[in-house]
Structure 1
Amino acid sequence: MVLDTPTLYFRAFFGVPDTIRSPDGMPVNAVRGTLDFVSHLIATYKPDRLVACFDADWRPAFRVEAIPSYKAHRVLEEAPEGVDVEEVPDILTPQVPVIEAALDALGIARAEAPGFEADDVLATLAERWSAGGHGPVDVVTMDRDLYQMVEDARGIRVLNIGKGVTKLEVVTDDTLREKYGITGGEYADFAALRGDPSDGLPGVAGIGEKTAAALISQYGDLAGVRAAAGDPASALKPAQRKRIIEAAGYLDAAPTVVRVARDAPVAEHDDLLPREPKDAVMAEMLAEKFGLKGAVARLTKVMAER
C-alpha cells in the first residue's frame, strides 16, 4: 500500500476540528486524523508493505515548463518572486513535521523523490512492487490522475478517499469502464483531453468528460484522436475536429503534465510494515507531548494485529 500523504493530512485537517490540541495548545487535528486514517487502512487491508509518500516538489519544473498554468492558482501570493510556495493553512504547516516524526517512530516508511510530486512516488513504487512480484498494490489517494495506474491484470487498484477513508471507493478497471467507458491504461489520455481546472489544465474547449471518454474509446488513444482530427475522412464532427486542431499546442504539452512518472528517483528503503514501533520511546514521547496517546496506541495495536 502506498499513501498519498499530503491528501491524507489535508483531508484530516479539514475534517477534524482544530479544537483538537496538544497539552500546550498547538492544533494537532491533522496529526491525529492522519494517524487514525492510517490505522483504519492497515486494519482493513492489512498490507505487508506500506510507504507514506510525500511531495519533494509539489509543482515540478518539468510540468510547469510544459504548461505554466499548472497549479499556478495554488501558489502563495506573498511568496518571493520565482519561488513556488504552496498556499497552506498556517496551523497545518507545523503539524506536518509531527506527522513525519510519528511515522518514523512507528517504523512506517516515508518516501519522496527530488523534483517530483507524491503522485510520481506513488506510481514509481506501485510499478516497482508490481514488477518485483510484491503485488497486489493499493494506491490510496483522492487524485483521479492516479487512475492511470489501475490495472486489474497486475493487481493495481486505487482506493479513492474522496468521500472519506471509511467510505472510500475501490477503483478497478471495471469501475473505470462503468464510470467512464475506459480503462486505467487509457485514463491519462482521457484526462488530457478533458482537462482539470483544479490543476490549472484547460483541456480542449468544448470537450467534457463524456465526449473525451467517447473519443478515446473510439480512437484508442490521444494520438488516434489527433490523427482523426487531421483526417478529413474521419467521423469526427466538424466542431470537434476544429477544437482539437486548435488545441494542438496544449495537447503537445499535456501528456508531460498528466502522466505520472513511473521511474522517479525514489531511494531504496525498508518498506516492510513492522509489527511494533521502530522507536517505542520516541513514539511514547511524541504521544505525550502532542496529546496523541489514543491515536498512537490505536496505530500500534493494528500494526501488531494485522
Structure 2
Amino acid sequence: MAQRPLLLIDAPSLYFRAYFGVPESSARAADGSPVNAVRGFLDMLATLVRTRRPDRMVCALDYDWRPQWRVALLPSYKTHRLAPEGDGEVVPDTLSPQVPVILDVLAAIGIATVGADGYEADDVLGTLATTEPAPVEVVSGDRDLFQLVDDARPVRLLYVGRGVAKLEDCDDAAVRTRYGVPADRYADFAALRGDPSDGLPGVPGVGEKTAARLVERYGSVSGILAALDEPGSGFAPGLRAKLDGARGYLAVAPTVVRVARDVPLAPIATALPAAPVDPERLLELAERWNLASPVRRLVDALANHP
C-alpha cells in the first residue's frame, strides 16, 4: 500500500481564494458577520482530505508577509500590496476578522497550524517540505512554490490556480512542461522573468521563453552572470545589454524568490485526528458562526478517510 502524504496547506493562499470565491451574502453568522472565507476554506480542506487521503496535515501561516530581509535585498518587494499607511498588507476589511475564526476552528478540530516570525508561509512550507517525512503534497496557488517539487523525496505541488476542484498535481515533468525548466531552477527562472504580483521587476525585455532558454543553457542566474564576463560567450548584443543593465537586480533577486528551507520551527504534531480534539468548542464555534454544514463536512471527511 502506498504511503500516505503529509498535506502542507498554504493557508493564506487558500483563504484569500475562498474569500473571493464564496459570496459574502451567502455565508453570514447570526449577527450578520461574513464568514464566506471560513466556509470556503473549510470546504477546501474537506475536499482535500477526501481526495488526497493524507494522514498528516499542517496549515502554514504568514507571520510576516513581507520579511525585512527580503525588502532589504529588493525594496520593491510587494510594495504595491502595502496599505496606504505603510504598516501592513492590504487585506479586505471583511476578511481580516475571519482569519481568527479559521484558526479557532482548526484548533478545535486538531489540525496543526504554524508560522514563524520574520518568515512567510512559503518559507514554513519550504522548511516542512524539506524536513518532514515524505511523501509531501504542498497545496497552494502561489507559483513560487513550484520550486519545492522534488521527485526524489517525493514532494509534489497541488496547484490550485483554478480552484481545489481543478487542482493540478505537479511533479518535475509538469514544471518542465509548464515553464521549460526543472523545479530546482524555478527561482532563477522567476527572477529573470519577474513577477508583478510580488513586485519583482525581472529583466526588462526578458520573457518566459528567453528566461527558460538562459536557465537551460547556463544553469542559474549566477551562471548567466559569470558567462557575461567571458569573451565569446554567445549572447546577442541586445540580450547582453539587457542582462548587463540588470546586474544589480540579478545579484539579489534569486535569494528573494528562493523559499527558505531552514526556518526554526518548534516540533509539530502533524497527525490528522479522526475526530475533533475539542468537540464542545467546535460545536460552540459552529453555532456562533453559522458553520454547521462546512464543519460537518470536514469532520465527516476526517472520520471516513481510511
Give the structure-2-normalised TM-score: 0.96
Q: Which residue of 2 aligns with 1:38?
A: 45
Distance in 1 (alpha carbons) for counterparts of 2:231 and 2:204: 20
Q: Which residue of 1 aligns with 2:15?
A: 9
Structure 2 counterpart of 1:86, from 74, 84, 89: 89
Distance in 1 (alpha carbons) for counterparts of 2:24 and 2:231: 59
Deviations 1:215-242 (A, max 9, x none): 1001111121112222221121111111
Distance in 2 (alpha carbons) for counterparts of 1:256 and 1:218: 20
Distance in 2 (alpha carbons) for counterparts of 1:237 and 1:144: 29
> Is 2:196 the counterpart of 1:197?
yes
Q: Which residue of 1 aligns with 2:3?
A: none
Q: Which residue of 2 aligns with 1:25?
A: 32
Q: Which residue of 2 aligns with 1:61?
A: 68
**Quick one: which amino acid aligns to residue 57 of structure 1?**
D
**Quick one: which amino acid aligns to residue 40 of structure 1?**
T
User: Contact 1:57–1:116 (CA<8 Å) still a contact in 2?
Assistant: yes
Deviations 1:67-104 (A, max 9, x none): 0010000000034xxx3x10111011100000000000
Q: Which residue of 1 aligns with 2:162?
A: 163
> Is 2:81 the counterpart of 1:74?
yes
User: Contact 2:228–2:240 (CA<8 Å) still a contact in 1?
Assistant: yes
Q: Which residue of 1 aligns with 2:279?
A: 280
Cα RMSD after superposing both structures: 0.9
User: Contact 1:139–1:157 (CA<8 Å) still a contact in 2?
Assistant: yes
Distance in 2 (alpha carbons) for counterparts of 1:205 and 1:60: 25
Q: 3-state DSSP class of the match of 2:106?
A: helix
The within-5 A match list for 1:1-306 is: 1-19=7-25, 20-79=27-86, 83=87, 85-129=88-132, 134-306=133-305
Q: How many residues align?
A: 298
Q: 1:279 Cα deviation (Å)?
A: 0.5
Q: 1:165 Cα deviation (Å)?
A: 0.5
The unaligned stretches of length 5 or more in structure 2 are 1-6
**Quick one: which amino acid aligns to residue 296 of structure 2?**
A
The unaligned stretches of length 5 or more in structure 1 are none
User: Contact 2:221–2:254 (CA<8 Å) still a contact in 1?
Assistant: no
Structure 1's consecutive aligned runs of 4 or more residues displaced over 2 angstroms after TM superposition are: none
**Quick one: which amino acid aligns to residue 42 of structure 1?**
V
Distance in 2 (alpha carbons) for counterparts of 1:252 and 1:221: 11
Q: 1:170 Cα deviation (Å)?
A: 1.1
Give the structure-1-normalised TM-score: 0.96
Distance in 2 (alpha carbons) for counterparts of 1:230 and 1:214: 19
Q: 3-state DSSP class of the match of 1:50?
A: strand
**Quick one: which amino acid aligns to residue 95 of structure 1?**
Q
